[in-house]
Structure 1
């Protein structure tokens, strides 16, 4: 752990244990070298006494690494002084006994542990050169055994090779961990691709369902209502066969309704706005709708607009127009109303459409579910349209008391201008 990498790569546990471990190992190697040297041939008493004094000093000096090691990067001068002290002591001992070369080799471990990479090279070089300079291994009078020189030269090489091996192993483990991470990422991407495909399928299904509902509403609001008007006018024409002028008027209404229904059906397929809203204000389109309805029915229809009329988003205006159209159809076909009132109210935040009639009325909570002729789709269509634009629809009715339909939608101006005025 304490020699597994450069100082900046030592983990928290290595920072705590690095100093004590290096100190203990250095002391053990120093003690072993001293004992070994004691059994070898040595000089006089003074020669041996000086060596023991240096050994004792190193025994006191080496443990100073314990408090210094965690602070070695903050105090580079103290670190260099500590290493120089160890190196000088080792040089003195190697000069007295070759066996202390083993202790001098501890300088390699200390060099890599104490200094950053760019400085540890110099410390290692100093450790390698020190025994050669002390013993004069390269001089003309060299008397150093060959194994000492080999140890001094091969030692750094072996240590560097070992260090590179440790680094290679560390990088191999890092690459393995990276490969595992990539494998997990690939699996996650595959899962995401599956989820994406599932979402696309659901989006297509939702789009198909939404388009079906749109077409159902458009068919109900165009073809169904147009055909209803045509049937009503044909029935009225049959009853007016004795009066040629009325008969021809009803047939003319049939032709008009047929052409309008065909045009609206084509526009519905192309998802276009109703023709009455093209180039017209919503209040004018609703007033024209009321006028045409009054011509083809026996009901008296009135319209009213309050507030400042302004252009809304196209979808909002289509919603109010279709609600007014459906409410009029219900009032004439089911309620058999004789008077119908339509009112558009513009305020700052909402636009309200009220349609009231004096027809036979019904029970709103059960009427659209009890019909079996398909007419109950009208209220459902109105609610769907209003909900799609974040609005609300309220229907008030009771048997014999007429019906009131109220639709409220947000007053979001059209994109044509900031003031939202009709242009």
Structure 2
């Protein structure tokens, strides 16, 4: 039944019922209208309007649910669908909307994958240039300063040593940036070693206490899965240092029969509802890249937990 005939039928039922009551009920209308007759007529009108509103709300409820979903749908949270049973225009609209969401989610996942892969390639290029060009130039500068300091008079030697120390600190910072841009240890030694190095470096620079809980003998993972797990852990630690006001963090990596689970928790102030900033949305896009699910739970004064569940090879649904 089309939407037009649905609304027509609902109104016809209400009006027909009202007409039947007027025909069969022992009610008359005097001239002028008596108070009791006016009360009966107004009460009947009220009942008719309430019944009509209730029936219309029931008939148009699927459109109301569709409107709410259209206003709140997020392509970074795939799988949001409305049930569409039966025929008619409303069910067809819902099925069409669900199909459109399916296409948009696939296109978003494809475009995000291209963008993230291009981003990683650019990071590798920048890291390589920093290592080869800037790093080598600063190393040569350090050697030159050392030779100059060895042959300089005492007053100038102290100044050269100070410049040498500043240059060494800058070189260490460049090397740290290179590790953040391109986690070479991830390629060379694997995910566990990369996360260990990441957390140690994070604890050293922030002064926060980081506890690691890694399962032994993790299953083999695809390189892109390891990279996503590493980047999500990296972003979670950065968010905790910037916003959580935490003292202790825990980074856990465990596996089940069909997935690998990464959890980063802190004891910070938490947030009532996770704010979808660029960092969180970036993590959701990375999760979509490998078919993983990202769950962020937080509450005021209860800390925040970031949980990424990545399917094992051959287990994607």
**TM, length-normalised to structure 2:** 0.47
Which protein has greater RCO, CA pairs closer than 8 Å, 6+ apart?
2
Q: Bigger radius of gyration, 1 or 2?
A: 1
**TM, length-normalised to structure 1:** 0.36
